[in-house]
Amino acid sequence: MKTLIFSILGLFLMTSMNRDMPAYAIYNSKGKATDFEKLVKEAAEVDVVLFGELHNSPVIHWLELELTRSLHQIKGNRLILAAEMFESDNALIINEYLNGKVKDKNFEAEARLWPNYKTDYKPLLQFARDSNLIFVPSNIPRRYAAIVNREGFEGLDSLSSEAKNLIAPLPVAYDPELPGYKSMIEMMGENGGEHVNNNLPKAQAVKDATMAYNIARNAVNGKIVLHFHGTYHSDNFEGIVWYLKRLKPELKILTINSSEQDEVAPLESGSEGIADYIIVVPTSMTKTY
């Protein structure tokens, strides 16, 4: 009897240890399971791909690089990379780096880089350099977003013309009723903030507007722009998408959302429709920071 019990227990443990533990799953906007190959195929047919990432997910960063490689195989030098993680006033040093004028050590010392640059974004920049691709630093310089957070959009009016060239053209369009922006105010109130900062979603909006502006002016002549940013900037087809549609309504745009779940399958109810493609990674996945 004991032999039988131990045999059953051993079989159970072996089954548990050998069970499939996928690192990610991909779903379409309807919540149906799909695969990376289909995502690549559809991405290659649009003008702009908005890859909304989880900033600290190694799986998502790996998939970003794989999508970049796959689209480059299809599009060649018609592919342009762009990212929230690099600010528009760093364009000169980024171009110098891409052209081999600045070495890694100098670039990393002088450019304002995110703490996880070496693990998560350096591979993308190096791919652009090695493949002779354009890499656009699309985000507003953080000091100007901070002005909006303190003073509203009006705070930008007194900037120099040189400074204004680094952000979306003024005045910045803004709809406070967009759910994404509205929820920021609501969350502040729910978290017990005594003084709700009504300028916070405006600071988010000026980032979205500037990123959209830099994407739109590069999405020309058959080029495809692959843009990386936090998933909140394009979820529910708001944020960057809203501004892109105002700038160039003819653009074909594909959005990607990144999400975490305890189990990657099935897609949790309510997540359908948040983007054209939804990539789910396990909540237990290790983080890059």
Prediction pTM value: 0.92
Please report the pLDDT score of residue 21 as a whole number: 87
Distance separating alpha carbons of residues 6 and 18, to the nearest angstrom? 18
Q: Is 29 exposed, middle or buried (0-12, 13-18, 19+ CB in 10 A)?
A: middle
Domain that holds residue 196: 23-282
Number of domains observed in the structure of the chain:
1
Q: Is residue 266 part of a domain?
A: yes
Distance separating alpha carbons of residues 218 and 108, to the nearest angstrom? 25
Q: Is residue 156 part of a domain?
A: yes
Q: Is residue 18 part of a domain?
A: no
Q: Is residue 117 part of a domain?
A: yes
Q: Which residue stretches of the chain have pLDDT < 50?
A: 1-18
Question: pLDDT tens digit string along 84-133?
Answer: 999 999 999 999 999 999 999 999 999 999 999 999 999 999 999 999 99
Distance separating alpha carbons of residues 151 and 148, to the nearest angstrom? 5
Q: Is residue 201 part of a domain?
A: yes
Q: Is residue 7 part of a domain?
A: no
Q: Is residue 13 part of a domain?
A: no
Please report the pLDDT score of residue 9 as a whole number: 41
Distance separating alpha carbons of residues 62 and 118, to the nearest angstrom? 13
Q: Is residue 174 part of a domain?
A: yes
Please report the pLDDT score of residue 5 as a whole number: 43
Bin 237: left if φ > 0, else alpha if -120 < ψ < 50, else beta. Answer: left
Find the CATH number of the domain harbouring 125: 3.40.50.11550
